[in-house]
Structure 1
Amino acid sequence: MEGLKDGVIRTISKPSVDISTGEAIKPENVTYIGSYNWVEEDQPTIIVPGSPPEWRNRAFPYRVRYDTGARWVDQNSFRMAGSSCLLPLLRAVDVVCEDNADTSFDWSTVDIVTDRNGLRKLMRWLLYSGAESAAEPLKEFRIDLQLGGKKTVLMHRWEKRTREIATPPRSGCGINFERESTTPAKGCERSTGHHRIVQYDFGGLKVVVRFEVDACLPQPASTTSTLRTSRTQHASPATRTTTSTSDVDSLTNIMLGLNVSTTNTAPASPPSRATDIAVIHGGTQVPQSSIVELVTRSENYIDEFSWAEQYPQLLLSYTPHLFLAAHNRGNFERMIKHELGSTELRNIEDNARVQRTFRKLAAALRAIQDLVKGHGQRGRLSLVCQSDGTLEVYQRTSDRGVLPDSELERFGI
């Protein structure tokens, strides 16, 4: 509730929908528009387009240690301490569009800009029933909102903490499994996490979604271009200037994944509150068809895998591959591969409960859009979901927006 005015200005009700008519709702016309990797620097620094770690396809069995130490909850907010966590999203799209000589992307046509995390939180709220509270309590969440242009809703992720401490054995070994099962792409050896941005149509809305990527299927060998480092102020892409040049081989001090088993890869203190983002040009634009979500489960609970939780994560980012690895106290012996479009997952997609929730999500996003549009470009609203399932709207005390005014120009007036 920090920075929010007293008094609820509105309570949002769960929409009711009719699933007896119309086609199934899912992301359509999915298009890759940007990506980047974070690297460890005092100043916020990203590699664009960057690349996800490549799946090694190691032969089972092999052993992985439990995760320990600090791990990311929201690396974007941590790295952009004091600034907008949406800025690296915009920077990456700008650079990728420029590299692709693509001038067709029109931000003013976008209805929603969000992290996948925000969509998943709204889906959990839609699925929540008080009767389930004892077994599956709803976690409180907050999303800050602002209008860009005439209709674009900017959904700014808000977390109580941007890192957490992994404590074995409850922490599992998912992060270390990623580290042991993938290889960093050339030019991205120092990466601390890869993020991808896609655009798609969803229930009549044009949505831009950012999400973290665990891995990708190996790509054909290609020549990586020389890297150049650009420091860009919070302004339009036209102001970008080059200040230094380096080779791919200069990226040393390897830091793999988000965490390692015996060291804390999440920094002990926040980076400096810099007013710009350093952009290193490197990595490769990988096809959407190669993106992989890695999930680990104990052999004791592999049969209790929750598709109700996992499937929306796949579909809302259109991640085509899910690799589900089973272990016994860190000893991995088998893996189950799932693909979007398979008969199994198509049955889940067509499930009445899933379709009802996706339709409700589209309706809820339209209601949020109407609310934000009604408060205009100077409106400063926040969604706050309480643990009892109540979704309330508050006004923020500060006039500061979720993006600098100079960035809002791209969304129109």
Structure 2
Amino acid sequence: MSHTYLGSFSAGYGAGNKYKPPHVKDLEDWASGNLIKVVNVSDLPNVETSPKIERCEYVVSYNWLDRPEYPTILVPGSPPLWSPSPSMKRLKEDSGEYFRDPNAARYSRYPTEPMFRALLTLHPDANLSSFDIVGCGSTLGNLLRFCAGIERDFRFDIDRVRDTIFFIRKERSPTVLIPDVCGYGHSFPEAHTIWEPDVKGSASHQRIIQYDFGGLKFLVRSESDGYLKQAENPEKVEEKSGTDNHTLLEALRVTEESSSTVEPLRIEIGGRRIPQKAIFDLKTRAQETRRPIDMDEVYRRLWVNQTSYFIFAEHFRGSFEPQNIQPLCISDGISKWEKDSEALLKRYQATVMEIITETRSSATGKLQVIRRGSGSLEIQERVAGDNTDVLPHDLRNKW
């Protein structure tokens, strides 16, 4: 799975803030709000139906442009194109610094805002109140891990906007970095994908899809590794005639909402819609480790964001042979995993409903979810003094 490389962007956004993995003490520091409810997997109510994802649709996408002086998104953008080398390549091991959460790092005031600016740019009449849950691969993936009994420390915030519940990724700081970068998980995609001319200067591609699950309508954002040319039917997006980027921006934002330390979000039109069926996720592995890929983890992640292709690349000491790089269509595998994981997905649905119930009955609608290691899920009031809204007022007023 790709992550955003800081490059020239790092100097202005705190790249020196080295990431330290969260420990119990850090989570206790976070968890200063009053405890509302403890959720244990063994105590979850039974779900009678067999939940599965239905009516999945690509909604919109955007690229973060690598512009350190001001945050800019390109709508709809497009992901990197898979462009493998026909001959063996020996790559240098990963180096550099990468953000864990590119949206928070590039727009810390309202990390969720860009997805709705992008959505309303291409779909100005969208019914935002039709969504029950707005989440991302990180927040929903962590809930799935909790339901599967997988050990993981995590925290995310919750905000209610009318009847829509937002799950908001929360790291220790917006510019937290991936620790101890090594291997070839970054150098490999950089060598085997390209940003096409209409999206040159991009640093990250973010996709938003919608689907129904367990009687709820989800809106889900995730970062994409790239797309396969042979699997797409591209839809070109022409810039609106008579509308320059400045005019578009003024129509889509409220300038007085901007923090003195965060530049207003800028929006440009460019790229093209790439269908969800052409999107891939990738993973590299050293042949000498002989450790099998954890396909359950792969299926969980790709089920959440409904990614059709998985590229698995084996290497020997950084040498990647073309025959050891295999793009696989795993849609059928994900469907089988979904069917075989009925008990897990019932727990997942019940957990989401527990969070919804507590959030809708909360006076403020601002909560947080904490989990330590293999422990219970704790739903708490937001930490003292944290009344941060998920979106600026002009967007909240569209619900």
TM-score, with structure 2 as normaliser = 0.81
Aligned partner of 1:191 in structure 2 is 202
User: Aligned with 1:350: secondary structure?
Assistant: helix
Please tell me the root mean square deviation across aligned C-alpha atoms, in Å.
2.7
Higher helix share: 2
State the Cα distance separating 1:203 from its structure 2 match: 1.4
Letter in 1 for 2:57: T
**Aligned amino acid, residue 337 of structure 1:** P
Q: Cα 1:287–1:165, aligned 2, differ >3 Å: closer, same or farther?
A: closer
- For the structure 1 residues 347 and 301, does the alpha-carbon distance in structure 2 shift closer, same or farther, using more than 3 Å as the test? farther
Distance 1:195 1:400, change over 3 A: same
| Alignment partner of 2:325 out of 325, 335, 338 | 335
Tell me, what secondary structure is at the counterpart of 2:122?
Answer: helix
- CA distance in structure 1 between the aligned counterparts of 2:342 and 2:191, rounded to whole angstroms: 36
Contact residue 127 and residue 357 of structure 1 kept, 8 A: yes
The match for 2:149 is 128
Q: Secondary structure at the match of 1:69?
A: coil
Identity, in percent, stands at 26
1:280 is paired with a residue of what secondary structure? strand
- CA positional deviation for 1:96: 2.1
Instruction: Answer yes or no: is the 8 Å Cα contact 1:33–1:96 preserved in 2.
Output: no
Give per-residue Cα distances to partners, 1:176-197, cap 9 Å, x unaligned. 1111101102221111110000
Q: Tell me the SS of whatever aligns to 1:90.
A: helix
SS in 1 for 2:123: helix
Aligned to 2:288: 300
In structure 2, what is the Cα distance between the partners aligned to 1:356 and 1:28? 18
Partners of 2:357 and 2:376 in 1: CA distance: 19
The answer to whether the Cα contact below 8 Å between 2:133 and 2:219 also exists between their aligned partners in 1 is yes
Matches within 5 A, 1:152-167: 152-161=164-173, 162-164=175-177, 167=180
Match of 1:229, as an amino acid? N
Give the letter for the 2:172 counterpart.
K
Map residues 222-301 of structure 1 onto 2, 5 A cutoff.
225=238, 228-230=244-246, 237=252, 273-274=261-262, 276-301=264-289
| From 309, 312, 327, the counterpart of 2:300 | 312
Over 3 Å counting, the alpha-carbon distance change for 1:28 and 1:223 in structure 2 is: closer
> Is the CA contact 1:44–1:278 (under 8 Å) kept in the aligned structure 2?
yes
Q: CA, structure 1 residues 11+188, in 2 after alignment: closer, same or farther (shift >3 Å)?
A: same
Q: CA deviation at 1:336?
A: 3.0
| Alignment partner, residue 35 of structure 1 | 61
Alignment of 1:149-228 (within 5 A): 149=162, 151-161=163-173, 162-164=175-177, 167=180, 171-218=182-229, 225=238, 228=244
Q: In the alignment, does 2:129 pair up with 1:108?
A: yes
Question: How far apart are 1:375 and its partner, in Å?
Answer: 0.7
Counterparts of 1:372 and 1:223 in 2: how far apart (Å)? 40
Judge conservation of contact 1:231–1:276 (CA < 8 Å) in 2. no
Give the conservation status (yes or no) of the 8 Å contact 1:111–1:152.
yes
**The residue matched to 1:368 in structure 2 has which SS?**
helix
Once the two structures are superposed, what CA deviation does each residue of 1:352-405 show, in whole Å capped at 9, x if it has no partner?
xx22212211111111111100014x3321111112422112222233322223
What number of residue pairs does the alignment pair up? Answer: 357
The residue matched to 1:382 in structure 2 has which SS?
strand
Range 89-98 or range 175-184, more displaced: 89-98
Distance 1:33 1:364 in 2: 26
How far off its partner does 1:126 sit? 1.2
Structure 2, unpaired ranges of 5+:
1-26
TM-score, normalization by structure 1: 0.79
The Cα shift of 1:330 comes to 1.1
- What are structure 1's unaligned runs of at least 5 residues? 130-137, 241-270
Is residue 2:113 matched to residue 1:87?
A: yes
